[in-house]
Structure 1
Amino acid sequence: MRGLDFDNGGEFINTQLIEWAQDKGIDLTRARAYKYNDNAHVEQRNRDWVRRHAFRFRYEGPQEMALLNELWKLVNLRKNHLLPMVKANGYATAGSGRRKRTYDQPRTAYQRLLDQHAMDESHAEALESVHRDLNPAAITRRVNAIQNQPINRAKMRAPSGDALFGEQIS
């Protein structure tokens, strides 16, 4: 790890963290004051991946932490190995004169990494082995099973008749 970036909230930065980072040679940075859009990509990832898979419940305890850790591992495998994405590569001008964004061919993050030849042979073979052993249906079934467990635990903690879970309030 080379650096940690925080938004402007002081709740994450304290003397112990600063000293620890200095001992480890880690750079600490903060977003610029009153520049609310500095962390837009991080916030988009939170909405797009974290809340889509773990929802907005409060999770507590080591059992739920273990479930969430397993969930993130599976979600990241699916995202990086199985879901193709497009990358913007420029603009073109349409017949009407309007500029239009152009994109490359859809590729998974795994394929893009292999295309760059940025890894040595042993790491590439290890990654290929992981990719070869993936079963998309099994991953989806396990993600669904994991998602149901914290939801049921959150339901048990919620007050009776909570509308959050679609039940009628008496």
Structure 2
Amino acid sequence: MEVDLVAHCGEHLDGSFLYTMTLTDLATGWTECIPLLEKRADAVQAVLSQARTLFPFPLLGIDADSGSEFLNEQVMMYCEQEHLTFTRGRPGVKNDQAHVEQKNRAVVREVVGCVRLVGVRAYRQLGEVYRVLRLVVNCFQPSFKLQAKVLQRDRVHRVYDVAQTPLQRALASGVLPEEQQHDLSKWVQRIDPLALSEHLDALRYALLCEAHLPPAVGASGRAWPPLRFCLAACMSEPLPAPEREPEQTGSLEVPGREEILALLQAHPEWTSTQIVQGIEHQVPDRAVFAPLETHISVICPPGCSTWEDSWLLERLQGGQAEPLPEEPSSSEEVISDADQCAVQASPLPALAFGTSSRTVGEHEGVMVSQ
């Protein structure tokens, strides 16, 4: 597994800015991109731990460059404790990590660009972009893999295998259990590539707005949360219904959309629990035994349901392993779950000219799916 960092510094290296850690498997080409707020040893260790939960197969070792973010005592101790083989390239020799360097250009730079990204809000939005990008690159973007080089007179003839996606190579390798292979194939077949690409375009546009424009502020004066990735909106068929607990005795009545929206407009600072209590106070004769999520979900679109993700689905969605950090000086306030769903229900922004989501393949012999 080759590992490298990409700096989102823009045109200068002054101050603090975000980084992206790119991890590429040599055998299958499986690539994961995870954002970092700072270039520190503890941040690198946390990202390595998160990346191990995203790959469908176990990691045996990592190969990094000679940067201080990798060559330090904390990362070395982590690799020893987790039984990961650690190797490094020669200082100043980029070709020692040729595979991950190529992914830095073809995946990270082609999608994110060279804009300067700073702060927690950009960190969150960049993480949402990568949750979609990992599905596009690993499940729907086939590429050739070099098999041999044959010298023919004065020229070198390169021989490639059949174009395959990283997922197809992982399934054909035989390292995954049969049950896991079946589940992965079933879930990926249910994803609509066109909807996934459109979702990626919208998230990329939101990231560019976050980099160049001030945060969008709602009527209450609070900054809107970043646009979130919703896997259910990219499915060609609906997700399975959640397993509900046994119904309690009494009448089950769910408040209407108008009642919840009226309370949100009158009391934008209320939490979801206070909204339900307000409904019960307005209509004391109503027996409300439904779960809290049932009341809030009536103002959410079908793709934003509160379905509990399984282990496999969490790997597909690529969610954050730990709570996102907060900036002490940030003016952003806590946004309720209802406000978050209202943002997701709004139409996706239109893309500016020249922001297609199609990533460029490898510099030698890559076939990108249309």
Name the TM-score, length of structure 2 as normaliser.
Answer: 0.37
Q: Is residue 104 from structure 1 mapped to residue 167 from structure 2 by the alignment?
A: no
1:40 aligned to 2:88? Answer: no
Query: Does structure 1 retain, via aligned residues, the 8 Å contact 2:66–2:88?
Result: yes
- Superposed, 1:1-170 pairs within 5 Å as 1-91=59-149, 98-156=155-213
2:320 aligned partner: none
Deviates more, 1:133-142 or 1:15-24: 15-24
Task: Measure how far apart 1:69 and its partner are.
Answer: 2.1
Which residue does the alignment assign to 1:166?
A: none
**Are the counterparts in 1 of residues 132 and 196 from structure 2 also a CA contact under 8 Å?**
yes
Q: TM-score, normalised by structure 1?
A: 0.74
Q: 1:86 and 1:55 mapped to 2: Cα distance?
A: 24
Q: Structure 1: which 5+ residue stretches go unaligned? A: 158-170
Query: Mind listing any 5+ residue stretches in structure 2 that lack a counterpart?
Result: 1-58, 215-370
One-letter amino acid matched to 1:77: L
Alignment deviations for residues 5-34 of structure 1 (CA, whole Å, 9 cap, x no partner) = 332233543344444444444444332245
How far residue 102 of structure 1 moved from its aligned partner, in angstroms, is: 2.3
Report the AA paired with residue 107 of structure 1: Q
The alignment yields a C-alpha RMSD, in angstroms, of 2.7
- Of Structure 1 and Structure 2, the greater helix share is in 1
Structure 1 residues 36 and 116 mapped into 2: Cα distance closer, same or farther (>3 Å)? Answer: closer
Letter in 1 for 2:172: D
TM-superposed CA distance for 1:91, in Å, is 4.6
Q: CA deviation at 1:101?
A: 1.7
Q: Work out the CA distance in 2 between the residues paired with 1:99 and 1:39.
A: 22
Give 1 or 2 for the bigger CA radius of gyration: 2
Aligned partner of 2:47 in structure 1 is none
CA distance in 2, matches of 1:146, 1:103: 34
